[in-house]
């Protein structure tokens, strides 16, 4: 593993394989059937609440690990990622004692008989979870916390590109009193460790966050074992800027929606549609704002834009920009920063069109293409004209416009006059090629439960 700022190697990890997955799943299965399976709801709540406390107490360490591992600036690692991790775990800690079934008034046409019906919510069992490299600590918590709250145990495979903070989180779980075998981390590649985890017969549920292409292959593999699956996949989330919006106020927020963590965010507002009368103002304002952002080493306190995760990702982003220019789009400044690290300058792309790959495909970098629209219906068409459906942003001062748009945008989340920041009680997930199932919120808990119907004859 390398430091994205310098390109230097900072750590090495074991390349786990199928035998390591077997060991981890066996430990998770044993814990589910014994220790964790015998913990009552208040005991699970206590452990998770203590884990949230420990995340906050060890915030400095976790921030530094996430910054070194991923390249995100210190402020992002602290305020969004580490504190977001603690908030997620604390929210999920409140759920174990709230999980319940329902009673049903049963009437069957059998003379002189009486029945009682009810449902039970039961944990699915051993969960296999796979998380990507862009925010490994927070995304690991999105899997671990609801799974444990529901009573499951988990085997988690982080990305081979960034997993130091996840390993630290697993260590804190032991301090929180979570028994051995409840949380298991297997490092390694997707081809070896990830595929073995998805195929394992003792894994009842797979929760995956990552690319759409990998998600499709994973779903096919899991289908052979009839496993429950939730997929939070790629995004190409639209931002729609109407001419009545307060441009001075909202343009920095629009920019931050894509430039946060150098654009390496699945819900990033990565394509902007601007009402034509405000197009020039938007391009000028966003370009000036992008130039004002301080690009630098991720551990420097003043840095606002850090490096991309690795040379491969930088090459991918630069390839999109080169192709966009060849297709007729343009940008004013050279996006390539020549250094040992993997830096790309925040870039506003204008003269873009809907059919360009930079508008249609997930770039995962600090790049914002702008396309104009002329009326309300065209804005809806452009926003929905995508294989993805993860998130979206609406910028307007007209409440009627916002309310008309919200039900017509085909995405898992709609943010109005804000970027789509995650919040523990609001579900996170998508539609279409952005996947199915949800992280966060009550919906996440439900994804780790089975519903059992019970019918009792009492007469």
Cα separation of the two ends of the chain:
67
Show the domain range for 81. 18-233+434-457
Q: What is the pLDDT of residues 182-204, one digit of tens each?
A: 999 999 999 999 999 999 999 99
List 64, 232, 275, 304, catalytic entry: 232
Q: Are residues 329 and 245 in the same domain?
A: yes
Sign of CA dihedral 198, 203, 206, 210: negative
Q: How many independent structural domains does the chain possess?
A: 2
Is 245 domain-assigned? Answer: yes
- CATH assignment at residue 320: 3.40.309.10
**Burial of residue 98 (number of CB atoms within 10 Å: 0-12, 13-18, 19+):** exposed
Phi, psi of 21 (to 5 degrees): -65, -40
Q: Are residues 257 and 224 in the same domain?
A: no
Report the pLDDT value the prediction gives residue 239, as an integer from 0 to 100: 98
Is 341 domain-assigned? Answer: yes
Instruction: Tell me the Cα Rg of the chain.
Output: 23
Is 108 domain-assigned? Answer: yes
**8 Å CB contact between 28 and 124:** no
Provide mean pLDDT across the span 260-275: 97
Q: Are residues 261 and 208 in the same domain?
A: no
Give the lowest-confidence range in 8-12, 233-237, 250-254: 8-12
Q: Are residues 122 and 265 in the same domain?
A: no
Q: Are residues 204 and 317 in the same domain?
A: no
- CA dist 24 and 35 (Å) reads 15
Phi, psi of 123 (to 5 degrees): -65, 145
Is 319 domain-assigned? Answer: yes
Is 3 domain-assigned? Answer: no
Number of helices (H), then strands (E), in the chain: 17, 17
**8 Å CB contact between 207 and 64:** no
Q: Clarify whether 232 is annotated catalytic.
A: yes
Q: What is the pLDDT of residues 401-423, one digit of tens each?
A: 999 999 999 999 999 999 999 99
The pLDDT confidence band at residue 11, using thresholds 50, 70 and 90, is confident
Q: Are residues 170 and 246 in the same domain?
A: no
Is 428 strand, coil or helix? strand
Report the pLDDT value the prediction gives residue 27, as an integer from 0 to 100: 98
What rounded mean pLDDT belongs to the chain?
97
Give the lowest-confidence range in 7-11, 210-214, 283-287: 7-11
Q: Are residues 197 and 253 in the same domain?
A: no
Q: Are residues 205 and 313 in the same domain?
A: no
Exposure letters 409-433 (e unless 16+ CB within 10 A, then b) = bbbbbbbeeebbebebeebbbbebb
Q: Are residues 302 and 201 in the same domain?
A: no
List 163, 250, 266, 393, catalytic entry: 266
Q: Are residues 253 and 345 in the same domain?
A: yes
- CATH assignment at residue 29: 3.40.605.10
Q: Is the pTM of this model over 0.85?
A: yes
The pLDDT confidence band at residue 145, using thresholds 50, 70 and 90, is very high
pLDDT for 339 beyond 90: no
Is 363 domain-assigned? Answer: yes
Q: Are residues 67 and 168 in the same domain?
A: yes
The pLDDT confidence band at residue 127, using thresholds 50, 70 and 90, is very high
Q: Are residues 84 and 151 in the same domain?
A: yes
- Report CA-CA distances (Å) from 8 to 3, 340, 444: 5, 9, 38
- CA dist 419 and 356 (Å) reads 24
């Amino acid at each position: 593993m390398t430091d994205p700022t310098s390109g230097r190697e900072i750590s090495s990890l074991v390349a786990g394989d199928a035998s390591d997955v077997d060991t981890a799943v066996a430990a998770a299965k044993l814990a589910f059937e014994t220790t964790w399976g015998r913990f009552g709801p208040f005991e699970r709540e206590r452990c998770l609440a203590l884990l949230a406390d420990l995340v906050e107490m060890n915030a400095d360490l976790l921030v530094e690990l996430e910054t070194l591992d991923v390249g995100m600036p210190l402020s992002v690692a602290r305020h969004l990622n580490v504190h977001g991790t603690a908030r997620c775990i604390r929210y999920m800690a409140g759920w174990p004692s709230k999980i319940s079934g329902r009673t049903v008034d049963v009437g069957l046409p059998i003379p002189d008989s009486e029945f009682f019906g009810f449902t039970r919510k039961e944990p699915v069992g051993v969960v296999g979870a796979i998380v990507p490299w862009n925010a490994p600590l927070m995304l690991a918590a999105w899997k671990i916390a609801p799974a444990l709250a529901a009573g499951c145990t988990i085997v988690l495979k982080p990305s081979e590109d960034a997993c130091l903070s996840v390993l630290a989180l697993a260590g804190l779980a032991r301090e929180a009193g979570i028994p051995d075998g409840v949380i298991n981390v297997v490092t390694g590649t997707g081809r070896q460790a990830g595929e073995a985890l998805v195929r394992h017969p003792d894994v009842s549920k797979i929760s995956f966050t990552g690319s759409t292409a990998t998600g499709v292959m994973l779903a096919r593999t899991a289908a052979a074992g009839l496993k429950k699956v939730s997929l939070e996949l790629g995004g190409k989330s639209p931002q729609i800027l109407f001419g009545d919006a307060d441009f001075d106020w909202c343009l920095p927020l629009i920019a931050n929606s894509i430039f946060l963590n150098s654009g390496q965010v699945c819900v990033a507002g990565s394509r902007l549609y601007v009402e034509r009368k405000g197009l020039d103002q938007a391009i000028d304002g966003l370009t000036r704002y992008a130039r004002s952002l301080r690009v630098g080493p991720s551990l420097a306190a003043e840095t606002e834009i850090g490096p991309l995760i690795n040379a491969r990702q930088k090459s991918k982003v630069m390839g999109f920009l080169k192709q966009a220019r060849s297709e007729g789009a343009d940008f004013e400044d050279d996006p390539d920063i020549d250094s040992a690290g993997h830096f790309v300058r925040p870039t506003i792309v204008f003269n873009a069109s809907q059919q360009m790959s930079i508008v249609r495909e997930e770039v995962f970098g600090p790049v914002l293409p702008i396309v104009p629209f002329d009326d309300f219906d065209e804005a809806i068409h452009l926003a929905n004209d995508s294989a993805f459906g993860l998130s979206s942003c609406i910028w307007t001062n007209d409440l009627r416009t916002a309310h008309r748009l919200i039900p017509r945008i085909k995405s898992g989340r709609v943010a109005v006059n804000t970027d789509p920041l995650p919040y523990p009680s609001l579900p996170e997930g998508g539609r279409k090629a952005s996947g199915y199932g949800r992280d966060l919120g009550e919906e996440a808990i439900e994804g780790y439960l089975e519903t059992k119907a019970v019918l009792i004859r009492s007469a």
